[in-house]
Structure 1
């Protein structure tokens, strides 16, 4: 494993920053303290800083040489609205907020790289260090782009990484093409007429219609889409009624839809809407159908993925660079990849043995109240970002004629 000595030497300093961020988590678009910590560290290391994109985003700018080439490296910085169950000293100090996805660790790895890049500028061009807010549902990537990220900081490509519990520390995983799914939500209201539960014939009961609709949606998955195209429809909330002897006036159903392509998403939305309206009509009900598209699928570009694979393989060996098994989870890095070539990959976070005494019960999985980022990854992640930037911006040989 080829780690950079100066990053190893700075590991304790960066770990302290990571644990400070973990102790003071902030939710999407409210990462003011987090942004202050990031901006101060970058400024102390002599890195110019631009703030305010996506409300609380921070961009560090490291230049060297004369080339106008540039590459972007991204870390997300927000926490989740959940209560931490760990009790070690750096556990969240704010009930109901927790870094349960490792964004504090992503920030630390990019800060480790930033310090080295500022001190050892072994590249020709510009590295843009993108510290992005609001990945957890807020679409911070989309908002940074809307605020002019790529106009203010023109870059050739964008790279990002996410820690992955269950995969060994020291390993990576990546693949070209779709790696994370689109994230979409729906809300359906079926309206009937309430009645006494002992006399249902006097009303129009929306509950049986809702039950049939849940089942009918699964026939879209099994009978309308191609079997080889991954897609998920999950009804996760059903609200109806207030008393056991009353047929309710209405039923509200909510849930999520996930796909790897927009074409399949179009199909699922169209069929769900049609089923809702037609089934409601069959039960003499009225229906309201709402469908909200959140994050598009995350689709890695071929050339940039193979570039990242070469760099990572050189660092840790081919046996430790695995093929990324796509997940139906979602990631707003997808917005960057719609506008710029790039690659989003995984870095192993281990199986939880790194957690200190006082951690909560349960596995060290993402979005789990017992999660904690593995600080052993900071030198590896920092070295990873430096090598990617240096290789991308390596001076190109002058061709002879």
Structure 2
């Protein structure tokens, strides 16, 4: 069996970084995961989660019917990399801009290390999940019967976190990441010459007013003690200087934590669209999709993760009071089915932000991640 060194982890991680693959297309990534696991004699099932997911397992040397799961996301993003280092993306328009190359590497390292020294009682499953970014690979794996096929009592996840120093971690008792909804609105009016706007029905004016009005749903209707975000991120209309366009399309996202508030925001969103269309004499169609639920840790499991981190010599500080993020995670689907916890490990104070074209996973973090996963398994699946 291979010795899991920082150099080997760096080699694996940079290879993944060079060859980013997006949702449900992670065929090379999946094949490389299988190659590494097979080289260590680790059992696995492939072709999961739409075709590219992998679940592997290692049994401890001590008999037990207990089992837990550890999950890593393996997909990249449709982002053009701005970095020019040797391991930059070789695939135009695609990039590991969220560190899933590092997450995959850390879980591979832990699987190999635990296979070499399985000093625990029971079984640990290693879940290599595709399509975390936007497309819900976690939901797909759950719907395919992940927890029925691979019985586990709890499931755990890790994400690197820019802004925290390497050697720092963050653990939340409950809320970690927000729910994620997306919307697409098409407003249709009557185009005309821009010099004679009274001859048409102005969809641009109506859409501009709508963007401002939507912000009031959050700033004036959301309780002050609850957090929500409604962002219009795309505005498409017209293609000439002197033509009032026939239609305009708006796209964006809604984020919050509370399930009742989530339903309320969607209802008020639809009402605002209908009221705008009626006032301006326009037609409007709404495509509103609820993508990911909010990610909530189980408090007792979060505390155990924090205790493991605090006992690690290469962790200097474990933050327990950081606010949750308004970003989202499809690991939420797994935590809806099993208790567990999702923690953050620092990627560096000066690290570029997630989803930024200058981002890169910090290779110094990989050995820490391997140590954390290994220590968590040995703690949770101890003989006692």
Interval containing the TM-score (normalised by the shorter chain):
over 0.9
Deviation at 1:7, TM superposition (A): 9.8
Q: Which structure 1 residue ranges, 5 or more long, are not aligned?
A: 1-5, 353-362, 397-401
Could you tell me how far apart the structure 2 residues matched to 1:81 and 1:241 are? 26
Residue 236 of structure 1 deviates from its aligned partner by 1.5
Q: 3-state DSSP class of the match of 1:379?
A: helix
1:60 maps to what in 2?
56
Q: Which moved more, 1:140-149 or 1:189-198?
A: 189-198
Partners of 2:152 and 2:379 in 1: CA distance = 15
Show structure 1 runs of 4+ deviating over 3 A: 6-9, 316-319
CA contact 2:129–2:137 (8 Å) conserved in 1 = yes
Corresponding residue for 1:342?
340
Is the partner of 1:378 in helix, strand or coil? helix
1:197-239 deviations in Å (ceiling 9; x for gaps):
2222222222221111111111111222211110111111112
- In the TM superposition, residue 291 of structure 1 has moved relative to its aligned partner by 0.4
Matched, 1:208 2:205: yes
SS in 1 for 2:248: strand
Shift of 1:316: 4.3
> What is the root-mean-square deviation in Å for CA atoms of aligned residues?
1.7
Residue 50 (1) aligns with residue 45 (2): yes
CA distance in structure 2 between the aligned counterparts of 1:199 and 1:269, rounded to whole angstroms: 36
CA distance in structure 2 between the partners assigned to 1:152 and 1:338 by the alignment:
17
Pairwise mapping of residues 181-196 of structure 1 onto structure 2 (< 5 A)? 181-196=178-193
Q: Secondary structure at the match of 2:291?
A: strand
Answer yes or no: is 1:169 the counterpart of 2:166.
yes
Cα deviation, 1:11-68, whole Å, max 9, x if unaligned, reads 2222211111111111111111111111111111121011111010111110123211
Conservation of the 8 A alpha-carbon contact between 1:76 and 1:107: yes
Contact persistence 2:74–2:130 (CA under 8 A): yes
Give the structure-1-normalised TM-score. Answer: 0.91
Partner of residue 5 from structure 2, selected from 10, 16, 19:
10
- Asked if 1 retains the 8 angstrom alpha-carbon contact of 2:4 and 2:112, the reply is no
User: Structure 2 unaligned runs (5+)?
Assistant: none
Mapped partners of 1:153, 1:330: distance in 2: 25
Match of 2:115 in 1: 118
Match of 1:389 in 2: 377
When structure 1 is superposed on structure 2, of 168-177 and 79-88 the one drifting more is 79-88
Residue 275 of structure 1: which of 272, 292, 317 is its match?
272
Instruction: Tell me by how many angstroms 1:317 deviates.
Output: 8.4
> C-alpha separation between the residues in 2 aligned to 1:7 and 1:102?
24
- Equivalenced residue count is 381
Q: Give the match's secondary structure for 1:52.
A: strand
2: CA distance between counterparts of 1:218 and 1:155? 43
> Given that residues 182 and 260 in structure 1 are in contact (C-alpha distance below 8 angstroms), is that contact kept between their aligned partners in structure 2?
yes
- Given candidates 328, 331, 356, the residue that maps to 1:368 is 356
- C-alpha separation in 2, matches of 1:143 and 1:124: 30
**CA distance in structure 2 between the aligned counterparts of 1:114 and 1:317, rounded to whole angstroms:** 20
Separation of aligned partners in 2, 1:231 and 1:60: 38
Change in CA separation of 1:325 and 1:12 when aligned onto 2, cut-off 3 Å: same
1:313-343 per-position Cα deviation (integer Å, ceiling 9, x unaligned): 1114886001232111111111111111011
CA distance in 1, matches of 2:313, 2:172: 17
Secondary structure of the structure 1 residue equivalent to 2:187 = strand
Equivalent in the alignment of 1:333: 331
Please report the TM-score for the alignment, with normalisation by the length of structure 2.
0.95
